[in-house]
Structure 1
């Protein structure tokens, strides 16, 4: 199940919940119980280690190398 991050529009609480995509519209704030939530998009987290021999370096010739 994916993790979804929300901010409550009533009390301002930020929280993360593990929900199925069918349940995310039924989420409630754990602090105040409101359903007036904004879903936050903070990026993708990849769990686990990278395969042997792979790297995440910048392409050669880039200004980041």
Structure 2
């Protein structure tokens, strides 16, 4: 089951909750009881592995030197 990060806009309470994809998102803060809870989204780290992800992969030396001759 995925874990979601929530934060209350009213009191600032941060918490995480394991929920199924079919569960409704939490809207009421368990700390202050206000309906001010929102999901917190953050960047997911990605890692490029293998060939084809770098500028030098697959580029011929003639095509890269022709653009720098100008």
Task: Calculate the TM-score normalised by the size of structure 2.
Answer: 0.49
- 2:40 corresponds to 1:3: no
Please provide the CA RMSD for this pair.
3.1
Q: What runs of 5+ residues in structure 2 fail to find an aligned partner?
A: 55-70
2:19 and 2:37 map into 1 onto residues whose CA distance is 14
Higher fraction of helix:
2
Moved over 6 A (4+): none
Larger radius of gyration: 2
How many residues end up aligned between the 2 structures?
A: 53
Distance 1:21-1:34 versus aligned 2 partners, 3 A rule: farther
Q: What runs of 5+ residues in structure 1 fail to find an aligned partner?
A: 45-55
